[in-house]
Structure 1
């Protein structure tokens, strides 16, 4: 994650991390623990380390070998420090599961961003799995 330091006229510096697609993420935001398993529909997912104040988890699937391919993702409401989402439990119209060309194995990253009620990022995490396994 890139760190951007902004200097203001008073000589103070404000430090933020650039992540979440180039959006500013507050320095000190939580690192989420993420694990998932492939299944029919959206992956069965466990997320822990969710910080207080987080209201929504945003998910995005990234193919490391076909970086321009958009697999989409979805959102899931949260109210605690951890969540277990069953297979197919993430409701999304934009999610498209892993689909490497026949005979190829790709690395897929399931990226999770925790946001508060105002939409500010309060935590990020991800996990990578091969498909097919």
Structure 2
């Protein structure tokens, strides 16, 4: 939700805050108003897999418009595995 008007693509990038040097990658997808992303849509993505315990993962989503103009971004952080 909250995708800026005029968005043509969404770019995703994830980092492990405890091991920021590990590249979890992400990817870019075309945006046509959808509210979900199909499983496997991010072809350069390595899911969370902490070696032990729980790690904090930060995901940044950037919206790009026509001509690859940056329309804005949002970032969130989540623990994995989630604490119960």
TM-score by length of 2: 0.85
Q: Which position in structure 2 is the counterpart of 1:109?
A: 58
The root-mean-square deviation of aligned C-alpha atoms, in Å, is 1.5
List, as ranges, runs of 4+ consecutive aligned residues in structure 1 with deviation greater than 3 Å: none
In structure 1, the partner of 2:78 is 129
- How many residue pairs get aligned? The number is 82
Shift of residue 98 of structure 1?
A: 1.0
Counterpart mapping for 1:55-74 below 5 A: 55-74=8-27
Tell me, yes or no, if structure 1 residue 53 matches structure 2 residue 6. yes
Greater relative CO (CA pairs within 8 A, separation 6+):
2
SS at 1:83 equivalent: coil
Give the TM-score, by structure 1 length.
Answer: 0.56
Decide which of 17, 41, 51 is 1:90's aligned counterpart: 41
Q: Give the Cα–Cα distance (whole angstroms) in 1 for the partners of residues 30 and 50 of structure 2.
A: 30
Q: Which protein has the larger Cα radius of gyration, Structure 1 or Structure 2?
A: 1
Shift of 1:76: 1.6
Q: Point out where structure 1 has 5 or more consecutive residues left out of the alignment.
A: 1-47
